[in-house]
Structure 1
C-alpha cells in the first residue's frame, strides 16, 4: 500500500486543524460585553449638593485625638498586659508592666537607708539633750571656784557640736527620703499608663516579649479617642479654590455610596502634603499635593472604624 504524501495530505490536514483551533480560541477570547452591576457602588454626589456642586475627596477615618503610639520609658521584658483591643481606658489606667524586680529592690534599699537616717536623727537628738543638760549643770554652779572656766567652755562646745551632728543627720535623712522618692518614681516608670481617656486600638506586645525604647519596634500599643471619630479628607491642590471651607461634608464608606452621613467641619490642616490616600483608580494622579480637611462624624449610627477608607463630598463655593 502506498504511503500518503506528507506535503499533499498530512500537512493540509494539520493546517485545517490549526485554523479550526484558532477560530475556536478567538471566539472564546472575545471580551464579555454584557452589562452587569458593579460589585461595589461607586461614589456619587449626594442629592443635597447636586444643585450647588461639590468637590470629591478621599480619606480615612481616624481618632479625634489621632492615633497615639504607646511606648515604654524603660527597656525590659513585658511581665503583664492589662488591656486588650477595644477596651476603653481612663486617664492614668495601667496598660502594661515591664519587669521591675531591680526597681523594687532599689526602693527597698532606699527605704532602709531612710530608716537608718531617721535613727541617726534620734541618736543625734539624744546626744544634744545630754550635752545641753551637762552644760546647764555647769552653768548653775554658784561657786565659780568649783568648776574651771575651761570645763564650761568644753561643755558649751559640746552642745554646739551636738547641734551640728543633728543638722548633719537631718540633712542625711532628707537625702535618704529624696532617694526613696527617686526610687519610687523609677519603679512607677515600669508601668505604662494611658495618657487620657481613650480606646485601645491595637496591642502589639505580649507578656514575655522584650520592649525597647528606640525604633519602630518600641511602639507597643496604639490608642485613640474614638468618640467622635474624625475623617481626614485629601483635596487635590488644584481644587482648593473651589471648596467652601467650613461647611459640613457628606461622607460615605468606600464602595457603599448608599450609606451617607453628614460630618461637621473641624479644621483645615495648614500644611499642604503629598497625596497618600490612594483609590487605585487607573486615572488617579499621585504626583499631586493635597489639602487635608478634618471632619467629625456623628457619634451615633455612623458605623465607621479607624483606618477605614471613605469618600467625601465637600460643598463647592457658590458662584456670584
Structure 2
C-alpha cells in the first residue's frame, strides 16, 4: 500500500518538474515600447526642462489675489471660460464694508446739508423774528421813557405826588428797556449778517473730510470683487463659495500651502514654452540669432520645432518647477521663451512639462 502511494507522489513530482521545465524554457518576446525615448537632435545641443504656457508679450500667466480678506460669496465664472477686461470673476462677502460705506455716505450728506444751511443764512423767518424783537424793545423803551417823564414832571410839580422810590424804579425800568433794545438791535444785526465765515470754513472742511472717507470706503468696497484685468481665459479657480481667501491666496488642503485664487492666461489662442537652462550650461548657449530648439511631449513620440522668442536675462534660483523654496543647494537657471505652433490632433495644456533640446 505504501509503495503504491510513493509511486503516485513520485509521478506527480515528475509531472510538475516537466511542466516547470517547459515554461521556464519558453522565450518571451519583448513588447514594443509605447513611445521612443526622447533623444537629442543636435550634435552639441543642451537639454532643459520646459513648461507650456499661453503666449503673451511679457511675463507669465496672471495669478489673481484679492486685496482684502473675507469669505467668498460667489464665483461668477468657470474654468476654461473666456472673459473680457473688467468682467467680475469672484465676489467676497462685503456686508460690513457695504454698511460702513453707506454710513459714511449719510454722514457726508448730512455735513453737506449743514454747510448749505450755513451758506443760506439768514433765514427770512429768523430775520423777521429779530426785527419784531427790535420793534418790541423799542416800544418797551418808549413806554418806560414816557412813564419816567410823567413821574419826573409830577415830582417837579409836587414832591408829594410821587415817591423817590417810584421815581428810581421808573429810571431803572427806562435803563433796562434801553439795554434790551441794544441787545435786540445787535441780535438783529447778527442774524442779518448770516453765518460766520469761520463756521462755514470749518463745516466745509468737515464735509470734505467725510466725503473723502466715503470715497475711500467706496474704493475699498470695490476691492471685494475680483475683476479680469484684461481679456483672458480662466485657467484655474482655487476656491469655492464659503471658502476664506486673503491677499496671500487660497489655502490648499492637499499641499498645505496657498495658491492664487484665480489664474488667467492670455486669450491669444497660441502657446509658448518657457524652459530653464541650468547655470552650468549657459555658456554653451548659441547666440540668440542662431538658437534652434525642439521639444518632446512626454509619453509620446511627438517632436515639435520651437521658435526662439525672447530671453529673461536674469539667472534665478530653480524653484519654478519644484516650488521648493528651502533647498540647501542653490541651483540657478536662465529662462528662455520659445513660440510654439501646435499641430492639429496634438493636445497641449498650460502647465504641462516638456523636454526641450537647444542647439544651433
Please indicate, yes or no, whether the TM-score normalized by the shorter chain is above 0.5.
Answer: yes
**1:94-113 aligned within 5 A:** 94-113=88-107
Shift of 1:225: 2.3
Once residues 155 and 123 of structure 1 are traced to their aligned partners in structure 2, the CA distance between those partners, rounded to angstroms, is 18
Once residues 23 and 332 of structure 2 are traced to their aligned partners in structure 1, the CA distance between those partners, rounded to angstroms, is 47
Match of 2:67 in 1: 73
Q: Alignment length, in residue pairs?
A: 290
The verdict on how the C-alpha distance between 1:113 and 1:233 changes in structure 2, with shifts beyond 3 A counting, is same
SS at match of 1:4: helix
Superposition RMSD on alpha carbons, in Å? 4.0
Residue 244 (structure 2) pairs with residue 211 (structure 1): yes
The verdict on how the C-alpha distance between 1:128 and 1:41 changes in structure 2, with shifts beyond 3 A counting, is farther
2:355 aligned residue (311, 314, 318): 311
Shift of 1:289: 4.3
The verdict on how the C-alpha distance between 1:205 and 1:41 changes in structure 2, with shifts beyond 3 A counting, is same
SS at match of 1:244: coil
The verdict on how the C-alpha distance between 1:116 and 1:299 changes in structure 2, with shifts beyond 3 A counting, is farther
Once residues 268 and 33 of structure 1 are traced to their aligned partners in structure 2, the CA distance between those partners, rounded to angstroms, is 46
**1:86-235 aligned within 5 A:** 86-127=80-121, 155=189, 162-206=196-240, 208-213=241-246, 214=248, 216-217=250-251, 219-225=260-266, 227=268, 228-235=270-277
Match of 2:10 in 1: 12
- Greater fraction of residues in helix: 2
**1:44-83 aligned within 5 A:** 44-46=39-41, 49=42, 53-63=44-54, 64=56, 65-83=59-77
Once residues 276 and 166 of structure 1 are traced to their aligned partners in structure 2, the CA distance between those partners, rounded to angstroms, is 61
Shift of 1:230: 2.5
Shift of 1:298: 4.1
Match of 2:136 in 1: none
The verdict on how the C-alpha distance between 1:273 and 1:166 changes in structure 2, with shifts beyond 3 A counting, is closer
Question: 1:78 touches 1:96 (CA, 8 Å); kept in 2?
Answer: yes
The alignment's TM-score, normalised by the length of structure 2, stands at 0.65
Shift of 1:39: 1.4
Between 191-200 and 171-180, report the one with greater CA deviation. Answer: 191-200
5+ long unaligned stretches in structure 2: 131-180, 252-257, 323-328
The alignment's TM-score, normalised by the length of structure 1, stands at 0.72
Of structures 1 and 2, the larger Rg is shown by 2
Between 87-96 and 233-242, report the one with greater CA deviation. Answer: 233-242
SS at match of 2:79: coil
Question: 1:251 touches 1:263 (CA, 8 Å); kept in 2?
Answer: no
Question: 2:71 touches 2:92 (CA, 8 Å); kept in 1?
Answer: yes
